[in-house]
């Protein structure tokens, strides 16, 4: 039997196109592989994958395990878990990292339970411990008030999921060389108890959030559901997306995919406008990567001002209409 060795990431694709999380995972894992001196492999499941596998090499993988099969064109938790389990038991990687995406959050717990190993979900940082070579898995704990670093000394593989957008993607280098290994798995691996009836796409507004360059975020300071039209109008004029804090989502003003923070999405837009947001640590966990933050809050002592590049002290219901009027005027002049 092989020794547990090597750093693996589980890449993700949709219709043959790699998702951004694949490159974020490669960037993180490349650093781990270089530090530990172990090879970096990516696993990719899907159908018609050769080009995507090559891209994974250009972005940092030393080798790619390609599992190319028509039954893998859509995410089926049973089939994906069977395939990954078979592959991991055969190749025995020391470290297995996936995105804390819907796919990663579904797949990795199934696998960890089957392999009787640990799993640290939603990590914001990964490192290799000097001396032991163990994977250090860091994530917020106790409601985001402390950062906990977790190790898996006695079981293998060491498994973690990583928050999307918590790390910049690896750059593309077409001069990189690597190996694509076409994996053949048993017929049993492709058996499933699921029947996929169809797909429904989520609204454009929600789909855009993680990729948006501009985000206008609604906080409880909006006071009324009806004031949301101000946020939507401001986002529209700036060509941005709408996000919200947890109370705004819990009150049903916005759907859950719009939630930004510890228990929602992590975003890193160029411009983030926080409207009536207090700046609780759990919210900041999701937007700290924003490049320029504007905060509008009527309380000059609000925490959000500590992370803002520009702070406006005032009532959102007065400030936002003025911004909207100004932007409309500007557009007219153009």
Task: Figure out which of the listed residues 264, 267, 294, 295 binds ligand FAD, where binding follows CB under 6 A.
Answer: 264
Check binding of 221 to ligand FAD (CB under 6 A): yes
Check binding of 282 to ligand FAD (CB under 6 A): yes
Q: DSSP for 127-140, please give it.
A: EE-TTT-PEEEEEE
The CA distance from 44 to 332, in Å, is: 49
Task: Figure out which of the listed residues 262, 267, 295, 323 binds ligand FAD, where binding follows CB under 6 A.
Answer: 262
Check binding of 104 to ligand FAD (CB under 6 A): no
85 in Cβ contact with 50 (< 8 Å): no
Q: Please report how close the Cβ of residue 204 comes to ligand FAD at its closest, in angstroms.
A: 22
Task: Figure out which of the listed residues 118, 261, 269, 311 binds ligand FAD, where binding follows CB under 6 A.
Answer: 261
- Name the residue among 253, 262, 243 with its Cα closest to residue 223: 253
The CA distance from 162 to 110, in Å, is: 16
Check binding of 246 to ligand FAD (CB under 6 A): yes
Contacts to ligand FAD from residues 302-331, by CB under 6 A? 302, 315-317
57 in Cβ contact with 177 (< 8 Å): yes
Check binding of 283 to ligand FAD (CB under 6 A): yes
Residue 168: count other Cβ atoms within 10 Å of its Cβ. Answer: 12
Using DSSP bridges, classify how beta strands 146-150 and 63-68 pair: parallel, antiparallel or unpaired.
Answer: unpaired
Q: Please report how close the Cβ of residue 247 comes to ligand FAD at its closest, in angstroms.
A: 5
Check binding of 250 to ligand FAD (CB under 6 A): no
Check binding of 278 to ligand FAD (CB under 6 A): yes
120 in Cβ contact with 155 (< 8 Å): no
Would you call 224 exposed, middle or buried from its count of C-beta atoms within 10 A (0-12, 13-18, 19+)?
exposed
Tokens of 103: 């796919």
222 in Cβ contact with 251 (< 8 Å): no
Q: Please report how close the Cβ of residue 279 comes to ligand FAD at its closest, in angstroms.
A: 7
Q: Please report how close the Cβ of residue 137 comes to ligand FAD at its closest, in angstroms.
A: 19
Contacts to ligand FAD from residues 105-144, by CB under 6 A? 143
Q: Please report how close the Cβ of residue 238 comes to ligand FAD at its closest, in angstroms.
A: 19
Instruction: Name the site residues for ligand FAD (rule: CB under 6 A).
Output: 143, 219-221, 223, 245-248, 259-264, 276-278, 280, 282-283, 286, 296-299, 302, 315-317
């Amino acid at each position: 039997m092989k020794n547990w060795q090597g750093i693996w990431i589980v890449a993700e694709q949709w219709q043959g196109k790699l998702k951004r999380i694949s490159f974020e995972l490669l960037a993180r894992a490349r650093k781990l592989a270089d530090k530990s001196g172990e090879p970096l492999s990516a696993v990719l499941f899907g159908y018609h994958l050769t080009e995507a596998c090559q891209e994974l090499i250009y972005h940092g993988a030393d080798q790619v395990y390609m599992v190319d099969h028509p039954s893998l064109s859509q995410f089926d938790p049973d089939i994906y878990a069977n395939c990954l389990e078979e592959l991991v038991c055969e190749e025995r990687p020391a470290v297995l990292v996936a995105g804390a995406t819907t796919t990663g959050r579904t797949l990795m717990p199934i696998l960890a339970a089957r392999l009787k190993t640990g799993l640290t979900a939603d990590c914001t940082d990964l490192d290799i411990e000097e001396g032991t070579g163990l994977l250090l898995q860091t994530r917020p704990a106790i409601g985001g008030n402390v950062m906990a670093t977790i190790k898996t000394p006695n079981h293998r593989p060491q498994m973690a999921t990583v928050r999307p957008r918590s790390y910049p993607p690896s750059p593309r280098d077409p001069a990189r060389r690597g190996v694509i290994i076409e994996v053949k798995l048993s017929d049993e691996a492709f058996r499933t108890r699921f029947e996929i009836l169809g797909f429904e796409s989520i609204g454009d507004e929600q789909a855009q959030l993680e990729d948006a360059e501009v985000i206008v975020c609604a906080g409880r300071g909006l006071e009324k559901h009806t004031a949301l039209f101000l946020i939507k109008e401001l986002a529209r004029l700036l060509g941005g997306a709408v996000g919200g804090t947890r109370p705004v989502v819990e009150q049903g003003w916005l759907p859950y995919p719009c939630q930004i923070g510890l228990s929602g999405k992590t975003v890193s837009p160029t411009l983030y406008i926080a409207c009536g947001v207090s700046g609780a640590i759990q919210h900041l966990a999701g937007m700290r990567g924003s490049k320029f933050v504007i905060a509008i809050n009527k309380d000059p002592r609000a925490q959000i001002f500590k992370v803002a590049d520009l702070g406006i002290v005032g009532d959102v219901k007065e400030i936002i209409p003025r911004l909207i009027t100004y932007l409309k005027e500007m557009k007219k002049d153009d």
